[in-house]
Amino acid sequence: MDALLATHNSSTTSFIHLPTSSVKALTCEMVLRRLALLCVSMLAIWGQLTNVAWAQTRVQRAETAVEAGRDAKDETDHRNANDEVANVESDNSDEDEDDEDDEEDEEDEDARTELLGERWHRMGPVVAECFYSGQLHNNARGGISTQNATRYRGNLELGLRLNTDQAQWWEGGEFFVYAQSSHGQTLTQDFVGDSQFYNNFDTSPRAADLTQLGEYWYRHSWGETGSVQLGRQDANEHFCYADLGGDFINSSFLTLPNIPLPTWPTQTLGVSSLLNAGDRLTLGGGAYDQGRDIGQWWVTHASRGMFFIAQADVRPFADYERSLPTTVRLGSWFTSADTEALDGGSVFDGNYGFYTTVDRLLFRENAEEDQGLGVFFQASWAPPDRNELDQNYGAGLVYRGLLSGRDADTLGLGFSLVEFSHVKRGLTGQTSENAIETFYKAQVTPWLSVQPDLQYIVRPSGIERDALVVGLAFSAAF
């Protein structure tokens, strides 16, 4: 093989080598022709090498079949008969192998998690990810207005991951770049008037159309011991969430609504770290830049600062073999940014709060599969003198694989309550808002899901009429 490569390299070099006296006279067109010829020649050589290798393989298989037939039977009296039997067996074996290959191809196609397949997503150590999500909602009743109250929101996401192990650079490293482009319009401001954002594309009142390079970070992991992540990142990846709330569309189930977390689409530069202190405990913490405009309407910052967060993930029954998964998260946060008082009379040196989430699988259909019924709870608190929303409580039920033959489908029911602080009530009369959501997420293919959604929002922003929001969402991985 080394000799073959050496011969190919030398022939290639002589093909593109030009005398020094003719370099200046060489035109662009001649260069392109020579490069095209070079590419054609390389493809031809590659094809010939492939054909030679395939021919050698066929010869080896034939020789092996003949030898096996000769060894198994009497070579003197039954040579011709045994050769025929060996050929028949070889043909049957080839057919069986072809059938197995076809079945494997069908299984791979059925298990494909992206539309275009892995070959379009991987180039050596680099993996590309592409997702598109869309949501169509209508305010069918109540809120601010129901006239022409149908809006569509979409979001395109592109991600690139580079694994340093696969690149043979060093162990435990990963680079990540994420870009997104959202478009469309929301019902919140002009039709529903809700404070918790019925649509998880609108975790903050930012512009409807937003295209940005949202994340770029490096993560270094030490096996299962822990990791450190540096760069522009989404703090919600590690903090302030319940696992079972991830399929809901209302944003309060994805991000606790009264924490000024640097999260999508307002990711910021920061550093975060996770430490696994055994099967029962994971400790995490982060420090992030926090600008004056953090995209949250319920708190006003008067200066730039830093956002700090600490969280403990407790799995109390992890040591018991037959126990169902249970995770309790306890966390606190602090920001050094100056925060204005709600009554406008003063400015506080920072802001802070506490939160907890609980995920519990109630029962599992099959011990080897991720199917069954789970429940989650969430609660958070922030000082009422500087945060319009001082309390949040939420809970939900999620069943995966409820219908026979639909093991990947998910049915969910949840509610989320936000309380306006007593200071805000005294100023505007706003009391509380409660969002109740139910959905059924159908996994049509491994790369495509469709999700009908229904939300009943009690007292949007604490003052509007109860609203009924009907929607249909879908997500595709390309």
What pLDDT, in 10s, does the model give residues 55-79? 444 545 555 554 554 554 445 454 5
285-316 b/e (C-beta count within 10 Å ≥ 16 → b): bbebebeeebebebbbbeeebebbbebbbebe
Torsion of CA 230, 234, 235, 238, to 10 degrees: -90
Can you give the pLDDT at residue 99? 52
Residue 405 and residue 286: Cα distance in Å, rounded?
A: 42
Whether 269 and 358 share a structural domain: yes
Give, rounded to a whole angstrom, the gap between the first and last alpha carbons of the chain.
38
Domain stops at, among 40, 58, 76: 58
Distance CA 226, CA 322 (A): 26
User: How, if at all, do strands 281-290 and 268-276 pair?
Assistant: antiparallel
CB 183 within 8 A of CB 208: yes
Q: 137, 144 in Cβ contact below 8 A?
A: no
pLDDT value for 474? 97
332 in the same domain as 248: yes
Torsion of CA 463, 464, 468, 469, to 10 degrees: -100
Q: Determine the pLDDT at residue 34.
A: 45
Q: Which of 58, 73, 92 is the last residue of a domain?
A: 58
Mark whether 155 and 268 lie in a shared domain: yes
100 is a domain residue: no
- How distant, in Å, are the alpha carbons of 246, 247, 312, 361, 416 from that of 326? 16, 18, 14, 7, 21
Domain assignment of residue 89, yes or no: no
36 and 140: one domain? no
Q: Are residues 141 and 21 in the same domain?
A: no
Q: Look up residue 122 and give its two tokens.
A: 């991987």
Whether 116 is in a domain gets the answer: no
pTM: predicted TM-score of the whole model, two decimal places: 0.76
166 within domain boundaries:
yes
Q: What is the pLDDT of residue 466?
A: 97
**Positive or negative torsion for Cα 403, 438, 313, 223:** positive
With respect to residue 51, please indicate whether it lies within any of the assigned structural domains: yes
The answer to whether residue 69 sits within a structural domain is no
Is residue 389 within 8 A of residue 257, CB to CB? The reply is: yes
Alpha carbon 332 to its chain centroid, in Å, reads 25
What pLDDT, on the 0 to 100 scale, is given for residue 8? 37
Check residue 120 and give its pLDDT: 83
Q: What is the pLDDT of residues 400-436, one digit of tens each?
A: 999 989 999 999 999 999 999 999 999 999 999 999 9
Assign 405 to helix, strand or coil.
coil
Phi and psi for 212 in degrees, rounded to 5?
-160, 160
Full domain range(s) for residue 38: 1-58
User: In this structure, are 13 and 152 located in the same domain?
Assistant: no
Cβ neighbours for 96, distance < 8 A, ≥ 6 positions apart? none
317 and 454 part of one domain: yes
Final residue of a structural domain among 42, 58, 74: 58
Give me the pLDDT at residue 47, please: 44
Q: What values do phi and psi take at 87, rounded to 5?
A: -65, -40
What is the rounded distance in angstroms from the CA atom of residue 100 to the CA atom of residue 93? 10
| Count of structural domains within the chain | 2
In terms of residues, how long is the chain?
A: 478
- CA torsion 250-254-260-264 (nearest 10°) is -90
Q: Would you say residue 459 lies in a domain?
A: yes
Same domain, yes or no: 317 and 410: yes
Residue 200 lies in a domain: yes
The pair of structure tokens assigned to 434 is: 């409660």
Q: Which CATH number characterizes residue 449's domain? A: 2.40.160.180
Comparing C-alpha atoms, which of 476, 472, 456, 398 is closest to residue 196?
456
pLDDT at 370: 79
In whole angstroms, give the CA distance from residue 250 to residue 190: 17
Low-confidence ranges of the chain (pLDDT < 70): 1-112, 203-208, 292-295, 368
Examine the domain organization and report whether 365 and 469 are in the same domain. Answer: yes
Distance of CA 453 to the CA centre of its chain: 21
Task: State whether 295 and 432 are in the same domain.
Answer: yes
pLDDT 10s digits, 158-201 = 999 999 999 999 999 999 999 999 999 999 989 999 999 999 88
Which residue type, as a one-letter code, is found at position 1?
M
Q: What is the pLDDT of residue 295?
A: 59
Please check whether residues 42 and 136 belong to one and the same domain: no
Residue with tokens 């037939």: 69
Same domain (yes/no): 446, 331 = yes
